[in-house]
Amino acid sequence: MIDGHGDDSYKYSRPITANFSSNVYNEVNLSRLKAHLCECIGEIGNYPEPEPYTLEARIASRCQLPSGAVCVTNGATEAIYLIAQTFRGTNTAILQPTFSEYADACRMHGHRVSSLYQLPKEQDGYRLPDDVRMLWLCNPNNPTGTVVGKEYMRGLIEHNPQVCFIIDQSYEFFTLCPLFSPAEAAEYPNVLLLHSMTKRYAIPGLRLGYVTGSSGLLERLRTNRMPWSVNRLAIEAGLFLLENDVPEPLDVAAYLQETARLGKALKAVGGLDVWDTQTHFMLVQLRMGKASALKEYLAGEHGILIRDASNFAGLDERFFRIATQTPEENDRLVAAIEEFMAG
């Protein structure tokens, strides 16, 4: 899907001054990274590595994995399409509602796609539908903010060895819930984890993600990847961030406390159902009216951007999603929504 994602600020003539739409925290201090990339700008005159070998080796060392168990991609989205291509024609289930690119990529490559709206229960033996050979789930899930527990996931994987599990952990940095580490997931021959440096470091313009899993699965992915898909500056950014991080890294516990405060303030507005979340974004449902109208009002009158979530499978025109920003921006959002609801 080309249109219909978050961060579509390019559509608006009024400048967007508070962006809640893309699940990226916009206050990360990237000053040192920007300075480093300026020093590296001359490198754009040379091709990057055909595959990002150096960055893959650095991530593998950090994750205590063999280098063959990491595949760096042009954002997690390239990984999604690469997986769908590699396993083309599979009977695939997707836990919904979730990121639309899983279904789009699978349909592009001839998968027979079905939707699940709940996972099997432990007391039912964790049994997935008999014909499913691949299961996609986002953990924490976009857009609901829910997390599937690690111990439950162990049971699900171990009771379904015939299924390849694609677990998108792009938002793993933004939850305190236990999730699989790359080394833990790589112990299974039927699990791939997706990771996003784009989300972790707030660098969506550079596009940088990676896949981890057993070396056998990763070798299959590499047979379909394009050469030079990750550009030179993105590779340099990844190497720099692994070595140096960012100044004043985000205090995730405090950030999630601010998320809880924002959710409570929105509930107090009235006319909104705010879904519980275990990460930094939340799904909200208008009891009356359309999320598209709210989005246009906030952008046009206040320079605030939210994500109309009506195009997620299983959701309707009343749903929108927001990602927590600074306390001041969050208060602006609540006041603007109160104004919309009063009108």
Residue type, 266: L
Same-domain check for residues 98 and 45? yes
Residue matched to tokens 């279904």: 103
Q: Which of 244, 261, 291 is the C-terminal boundary of a domain?
A: 244
Q: Which of 226, 244, 262 is the C-terminal boundary of a domain?
A: 244
Same-domain check for residues 76 and 24? no
Same-domain check for residues 92 and 13? no
Q: What is the pLDDT of residue 343?
A: 78
Q: What is the pLDDT of residue 10?
A: 81
Measure the CA–CA gap between 147 and 199, rounded to whole angstroms.
17
Same-domain check for residues 255 and 228? no
Same-domain check for residues 24 and 38? no
DSSP 317: T
Same-domain check for residues 132 and 173? yes
Measure the CA–CA gap between 305 and 22, rounded to whole angstroms.
9
How many other CB atoms sit within 10 Å of the CB of residue 6? 23
Give per-residue burial for 245-268: e unless 16+ CB within 10 Å, then b: ebeeebeeeebbebbeebbebbee
Same-domain check for residues 226 and 313? no
Q: How many domains, in total, are found in the chain?
A: 2
Same-domain check for residues 93 and 112? yes
Residue matched to tokens 């580490």: 181
Q: Which of 228, 244, 260 is the C-terminal boundary of a domain?
A: 244
Mean pLDDT in consecutive groups of 10 residues from the start of the chain, 343 residues: 69 91 91 97 95 97 95 97 98 97 97 97 94 98 98 98 98 98 97 96 95 96 94 97 94 97 97 98 97 97 97 96 98 98 88
Residue matched to tokens 């507005």: 269
Domain contains 4: no
- The answer to whether the bond into 140 is cis (omega within 30° of 0) is yes
Partner residues linked to 263 by β-bridges:
none
Q: What is the pLDDT of residue 12?
A: 84
Q: What is the pLDDT of residue 4?
A: 63
Q: Which domain holds residue 323?
A: 9-28+250-342
Measure the CA–CA gap between 293 and 336, rounded to whole angstroms.
13
Q: What is the pLDDT of residue 2?
A: 56
Is the separation of the CB atoms in 275 and 262 below 8 Å?
no
Residue type, 21: S
Q: What is the pLDDT of residue 7?
A: 72
